[in-house]
Structure 1
Amino acid sequence: MIFGRKKRSIVRLLVVEDEPLVAFDTEHVLSEQDYEIVATVDRVAHAVAILDEADDIHLVLADIALADGSGIEVAQAAARRGVPVMFVTGNCPGDAEALAVACLSKPYAPRDLIAAIEAIEAAREGKTTRRLPNGFRLFAGSDPSAGGAAAIG
């Protein structure tokens, strides 16, 4: 197929968001783009439990402010399992680069969410993205298994 979609390396996502409308919208946008949502949860404890159980999560989208703690705790748990995290938050923490591969500021347009995931995927493949979405920071060279930002993937 000449004009077919290329095979993605990021397909299975865990969404960690405690605002129901944002969670619903995120899930809808991603599903429409053929991403598989492993789960959408609103608590740190639930996210960590899913990370413990699921074998094949490609990316965690985590808000920072959650009902029972912080998305930072989710990022730490994901890093121990080698799963990259993109913070999706109104206020990206100062130490985000040590914990995540990227940060997307809220509010964001649906196209910016998709473009952010595609930029992470391109970085994993060693490619550069010409134009990053508004409010998005891709941390140079992320290694989630090291808990920091150096070879995305």
Structure 2
Amino acid sequence: MGVTIGRTGVLFGKKKRRIVRLLVVEDEPLVAFDAEHVLTDADFEIVATVDRVADAVAVLSGGDAIDLVLVDVNLADGSGVEVARAARARGVAVMFVTGACPPEAVELAAGCLSKPYGQRDLIAAIGAIEAGMAGKPPKRLPPGFTLFATGSPEAA
């Protein structure tokens, strides 16, 4: 647990995050750019932003530490479900970010956030997944977000 000193000089314990490094898989450039911006501002590290299944699988295979994959379902060269399967096989959590959550999501992902979503909802959805990884119930679920019970890769 890190320590932060507040304005009043009081020490606050800073909770260590379980989710820090993200892979964003999105083929709509404006959505990808907005997600990168929001996540970076929220102190997440973007390992890569890609728009194709093949590129996402290559990043997952590349050995970089990734805590969570945010993946759209409909991609130019295939389905985000393929990316989710590859991530799951490597023990990496997945959140679908899509207009229509696929039926396989329950087995493959920690959650599903419906598009369009607000910036706060994206951060809150990641927080809910993080709470689930810690074995705690999330404080709240944002609108349009479904958290799955089998969301952590270790639960499979």
TM-score, structure 2 normalization: 0.89
Q: Displacement, 1:3?
A: 3.7
Which deviates more from structure 2 when the two are superposed, residues 104-113 or residues 91-100? Answer: 91-100
Deviation string for 1:110-131 (max 9, x for gaps)? Answer: 0000000011001111111132
Which deviates more from structure 2 when the two are superposed, residues 30-39 or residues 91-100? Answer: 91-100
Q: Displacement, 1:12?
A: 0.2
Match of 1:96 in 2: 105
Match of 1:36 in 2: 45
Q: Displacement, 1:79?
A: 1.0
**Structure 1: gaps spanning 5 or more residues:** none
TM-score, structure 1 normalization: 0.91
Counterpart mapping for 1:1-80 below 5 A = 1=4, 2-3=11-12, 5-80=14-89
Greater Rg by CA? 2
Identical-pair percentage: 69
Deviation string for 1:51-74 (max 9, x for gaps)? Answer: 000331000000000000000000
Secondary structure, aligned partner of 2:97: strand
**Structure 2: gaps spanning 5 or more residues:** 5-10
Secondary structure, aligned partner of 2:19: coil
AA paired with 1:115?
A
| Count of equivalent residues | 147
Secondary structure, aligned partner of 1:22: helix
Q: Which is richer in strand?
A: 2
Q: Displacement, 1:4?
A: 5.4
AA paired with 1:52?
S
AA paired with 1:87?
F
Runs of 4+ with >3 A deviation: 1-5
